[in-house]
Amino acid sequence: MTKAFFFFLLLAIISCSSKQESKVTLAVAANMQHAMENLINEFESTYNIKVEASSSSSGILTTQIRQGAPFDIFLSADLNHPNLLYAEGLASSPEVYAKGKLILWTVKNDITLDLGINSLLDSGIKKIAIANAETAPYGFAAAQSLEVSGLKERLNTKLIIGESISQVNQYIQSENVDIGFTSQSVLYSTYLSYPGTWIAVPDTLYSPILQGIVLLNHGKKENLSNSKQFYKFMFSERAKEILSNYGYNVSQ
C-alpha cells in the first residue's frame, strides 16, 4: 500500500510538472487584448503550449511584476515600463514588437468628426474618455495630443479617466461618454457590434507608441523553453500578419 501511494504521488508530481512545462503566462497591455486572443489561438495550435494571459494597463502590470507576480513575458504598450524592469534586473532588454495607433472613437450617431481633433470643442460633447496617463501609454499619448494641439485647458473638465484602454472602450461602447481616445486595434475586435465613427489622431501630436516585449525573470528561471518559444513567435511572420490585421504597424 505504501508503494502504491508513492507511485501515485510520483505520477501526480510528473503530471504537475508536465502541465507546468506546457504553459506560458503573459502580462498583456490592455490595448492588445483583442489581438492577443488571435495570437494565442495561433500559438497554441502551432506549438501545443497553453497560454494564460492577464490584461491591464502597462503601469499596473509593472507594479504586479515588481511585487512578484509569476508572469513569464510582459507585452507592454510602451518601452518605458519594460525599460524600468530591465534597469531593475527583473527582465531582459526590451524589443519593439509593434507600433500602436491612437484614434478618437464614438458610437453616438449625432457626433461628427469633420474637424479632426478640434471636433472635441463641439458643445454637444460633454464627456471625453481618456486612459490614465500615469499608468496607460495610450492615455499618455492622448494627454500629449491634447497638450500639443492646445486643447488641454479647454477640455480638462470634460475628461473622464479610465484605468486602462479596456475601461475607456467600455465607457465609449456603453455611451457613458460621448467620445474617447483609444487604440485603433479595438475597431477590429470580433466582439464589436457597431464600429461607430472614428478618426486617427495625427501622429505629429504624440510620441510614437512603441510597444515593447520582455522576458521576465520568472520566465527565464522557471519556464525558459516555453517562454523563449512564445517570445520568438511574436516576431514571426504569422504574428506580424495578425498584428497588422489589428491595426498595428509592424514594419519598424
Alpha carbons within 13 angstroms on the beta-carbon side of residue 35 total 28
Span 189-193, average pLDDT: 80
This prediction's pTM: 0.88
Report how far residue 61's alpha carbon sits from residue 234's, in angstroms, rounded to the nearest whole number. 19
Question: Domain residues of the chain, as ranges?
Answer: 16-99+209-245, 101-200
> CB within 8 A of 213, min separation 6: which ones?
73, 74, 75, 76, 82, 94, 95, 96, 97, 231, 234
Span 199-222, average pLDDT: 97
Give the per-residue pLDDT at 252.
54
Q: In this predicted model, what pLDDT tens digit does every residue of 111-164 receive, in sequence order? A: 999 999 999 999 999 999 999 999 999 999 999 999 999 999 999 999 999 999
In CATH terms, the fold of domain 16-99+209-245 is: D-Maltodextrin-Binding Protein; domain 2 (3.40.190)
Q: Which of 32, 26, 59 is nearest to 169 (CA)?
A: 32
Q: 91 — phi, psi (to 5°)?
A: -155, 165
Q: In this predicted model, what pLDDT tens digit does every residue of 33-56 receive, in sequence order? A: 999 999 999 999 999 999 999 999
Average pLDDT of the residues of the chain: 92
Q: What percent of the chain has pLDDT over 70?
A: 91
**pLDDT at position 6 over 90:** no
pLDDT confidence bin for 192, thresholds 50/70/90: confident
Lowest mean pLDDT among 85-94, 99-108, 184-193, 194-203: 184-193
**pLDDT at position 17 over 90:** no
Q: What is the dihedral of CA 230, 83, 189, 182, to 10 degrees?
A: 180
Lowest mean pLDDT among 92-96, 97-101, 187-191, 198-202: 187-191
Chosen CATH of 101-200 out of 3.30.497.10, 3.40.190.10, 3.60.9.10, 3.30.70.2740: 3.40.190.10
